[in-house]
Amino acid sequence: MVKKLALLTLTVMMVVVLAACGANGKNEGTTNTTGSTGSNKSGAADPSPAKKITIKYWYAFGEKIEEAKQNMVKEFNASQDRIEVIAEHQGNYDDLHAKVQAAFAAGDAPAVTDLEIASTGVFARSGMLQELTAFADRDKDKVQLDDFNPGLMGNAYVDGKLYGLPFMRSTPILYKNITLLKSVGLDPEGPKSWDELEQYSRVLKENGKIGMTLPADIWFYEGLVAQSGGTILSEDGKAAAFNSPEGVAPVEFWKKLASEGLIKIPVGDEAGATADKDWANQMSAFKFASTAGVSGSLEIAKGNGFELMTAFMPANKSYGVPTGGCQLVMTSKSSDEEKEAAWEFITFMTSKENTIYQHKYVGYLPTRMSAVESDEIKAHFEAFPQYKVAVDQLEFARPRPMETSYPEVAKIIKEAIEKAILDPKVAPQDAMNAAAEKANKLLSK
């Protein structure tokens, strides 16, 4: 699941200043970029074979996500003998981003890292990322940028320049306990709208259940704003737009349902875990979660004896959903040899074959159109339609904001939503107006 971001613009600025005092980021003994057999031009054995180029790859999240990443790294290392990738787990996205910043300042950043898409602007504009446009132009026949799903490319560019390739990408989707819905006489094809979600939740409450346990997650909120016809920020990204009627509508909807006991909105660091637990234990019929959780959720449903189906997030004026997940990026202080090795690794990890593999293993979106159109994925969708929903929902997807201050703005929005929902005396419009005032001070800088 996509996690919340808490990177402060001030922190990034400090990192950039510190980075000027850091080392050059080069690894010793990594001068070879072409030799892979240890032979000289005459074909005789080289008495001193060139050393492998060793690069670090830092990634987020564990369990099946980590297993998939480690498996692909092992395959890459075994596929050639010139480059050795050392893959290291660094916690969630917040943890990973903070560690990459600190390592960059110390001159020891990984050559390649996962980067949650909404933070691409912060990292690129601070000078921490290597622009990839020249690499992609040079190797256009190999990388095939136009093969990536267009709905996933919005966060790959910053100020018109390419900085990342889509990797483990996601959208939030609706997870449904079909067994529970049938047991209380509800049509398992729904709910398809906000009104239907409310109606379903009322029936579930009458039967001792709740519709949904829902963290006030900024990612889910972005989706509901899109469904209402609004945007989080102004078109130029310099002012808040979330205090518009379209931005306030989701908060009013959540507050109404929560106040009547139709949904539960937990807060704190364990809010997401609480939502997962209530759904797994069949206390709630629905949950919003990343498509990355399809594989694991199918296992939970099977183990707990109920049927799982997935669906679009219920619509308001229309369907709408933010994209999420990470892309692979290259840090800017590596040596030229390390950058070439990093590029080779990035193109391997984002290939058609690997997007098929990680989609089937975890549930993340198949990022390439050639993968979606492959016989292997078509057969997979036929057998497990739960995986196909997120791909179909991309028709209504929009990129996340990438303004430098957005991670901090997102935190302000989340706090305002929680305050409006939890405090009966606070009107959603007032809470969002106050949040917009704070956000505008950051966005105008």
Q: What is the pLDDT along the chain (445 residues), one digit of tens a residue?
A: 433 333 333 343 333 333 333 333 333 333 333 333 333 433 444 444 578 999 999 999 998 999 999 999 999 999 999 999 999 999 999 999 999 999 999 999 999 999 999 899 999 999 999 999 999 999 999 999 999 998 899 899 999 999 999 999 999 999 999 999 999 999 999 999 999 999 999 999 999 999 999 999 999 999 999 999 999 999 999 999 999 999 999 999 999 999 999 999 999 889 999 999 999 999 999 999 999 999 999 999 999 999 999 999 999 999 999 999 999 999 999 999 999 999 999 999 999 999 999 999 999 999 999 999 999 999 999 999 999 999 999 999 988 998 989 989 999 999 999 999 999 999 999 999 999 999 999 998 8
How far, rounded to the nearest angstrom, does the alpha carbon of residue 209 sit from its chain's CA centroid?
30
**How far is CA 406 from each of CA 329, 384, 439, rounded to the nearest angstrom?**
19, 36, 9
Under 8 Å between Cβ of 148 and 166 = yes
Q: Which DSSP string do the residues of 134-163 spell out, in sequence order?
A: HHHHHTHHHH-GGGB-GGG-TTTEETTEE-
> What pLDDT shows up at residue 49?
54
Q: Could you give the angle at the alpha carbon of 283 between the alpha carbons of 281 and 288, nearest 5°? A: 90
CA proximity to 263, closest of 191, 327, 360:
191
**Domain ranges in the chain with CATH number 3.40.190.10:** 9-37+51-169+324-393, 172-322+405-443
> What pLDDT shows up at residue 269?
85
How far, rounded to the nearest angstrom, does the alpha carbon of residue 242 sit from its chain's CA centroid?
21
116: Cα within 13 Å, side-chain hemisphere: 28
| Cα–Cα distance measured from residue 411 to residue 26, given in angstroms and rounded to the nearest whole number | 36
| Cα–Cα distance measured from residue 196 to residue 186, given in angstroms and rounded to the nearest whole number | 11
Q: Which residues contact 235 (CB under 8 A, 6 or more apart)?
A: none
> What pLDDT shows up at residue 245?
98
**How far is CA 167 from each of CA 95, 144, 255, 299, 352, rounded to the nearest angstrom?**
19, 14, 35, 24, 11
pLDDT digits (tens, 9 = 90+) for 97-140: 999 999 999 999 999 999 999 899 999 999 999 999 999 999 99
* Domain at 9-37+51-169+324-393, CATH class: alpha beta
Q: Which residues contact 275 (CB under 8 A, 6 or more apart)?
A: 212, 213, 214, 215, 266, 284, 287, 288, 289
The residues with which 308 forms a beta bridge, in sequence order, are 177
* Domain at 172-322+405-443, CATH class: alpha beta
Output the average pLDDT for the chain.
89
**How far is CA 48 from each of CA 4, 32, 40, 217, rounded to the nearest angstrom?**
49, 12, 10, 56
CA proximity to 282, closest of 308, 310, 256, 258:
308
> What pLDDT shows up at residue 13?
38
